[in-house]
Structure 1
């Protein structure tokens, strides 16, 4: 999984999950990874099936119907120290790390798998959430 340091953002804060997903999508658009229509597909995906994965992570990504909007595979990593709620007020699901992804063909499945394996160990998520620099986060994903 190739990580672009310019797609890693630390110490972000969002008032809700839609704002967080839009932010991830805008980074993908600005980086030339997707067309702007992909962002609405990311929001639609979360409405249909939550992008919250447990262990304080969320993986915003577009619906399959938005594949045509993906220009190249990319991963945005966003640290949210105070967290953003991907659940409800009654059943909060706090995410402190966001991985906005877009993949050509089935590459998004590979990205989700790699992120999920790394973040299955909650200690790894804590390391990412506590990281003080972009470089510190990037080194966890170097192969």
Structure 2
């Protein structure tokens, strides 16, 4: 099972707040079988204790350390919000990358995601992607390095 697949990508999403956005990112991970349902609450809990907004229009919601046992396999979800959603101090996130990682894989994944998003061109391509396949292509080329 790929850590990112078309069924874990949602484009053109409209949300009322960051919590709805986080739940959508988390639900994609639940539906794909990477995590169990309570992981969603752990993602919200994590956001309340420390914002997962990374800057540059990107947020990387994930669960708390205590939620590790709720993860069955490593996976990513991507939610693209064209109008953005306020995340912290007036900063808007346009792209959410939900993460569930088994063991110590989360550091490698976070590093890879950071590398992908360190290139403005990738951020724009993901924001304006017309299909899930376009996003997968960007991630796969960024994850290989």
Instruction: Give the TM-score band, short-chain normalised.
Output: over 0.9
Runs of 4 or more above 3 Å deviation: none
Residue 40 of structure 2 is aligned to residue 39 of structure 1:
yes
Counterpart among 117, 120, 125 of residue 119 in structure 1: 117
Aligned positions of 1:2-41 closer than 5 A:
2-41=3-42
The Cα of 1:122 is off from its aligned counterpart by: 2.2
TM-score, L = length of structure 2: 0.92
Counterpart among 76, 90, 94 of residue 92 in structure 2: 94
Q: Which region of structure 1 is more displaced relative to structure 2, 103-112 or 64-73?
A: 103-112
Q: Counterpart in 2 of 1:63?
A: 64
Q: Is the 8 A contact 2:19 2:44 kept in 1?
A: yes
Q: Which runs of 5+ in 1 are unaligned?
A: none
The Cα of 1:123 is off from its aligned counterpart by: 2.4
2:33 and 2:126 map into 1 onto residues whose CA distance is 25
Over the aligned positions, Cα root-mean-square deviation in angstroms equals 1.2
Q: Which runs of 5+ in 2 are unaligned?
A: none
Q: Counterpart in 2 of 1:83?
A: 84
TM-score, L = length of structure 1: 0.93
Q: Is the 8 A contact 2:24 2:79 kept in 1?
A: no
The Cα of 1:2 is off from its aligned counterpart by: 3.9
CA gap 1:66/1:2 in 2 versus in 1, 3 angstroms: closer
Bigger relative CO (Cα 8 Å, ≥ 6 apart) = 1
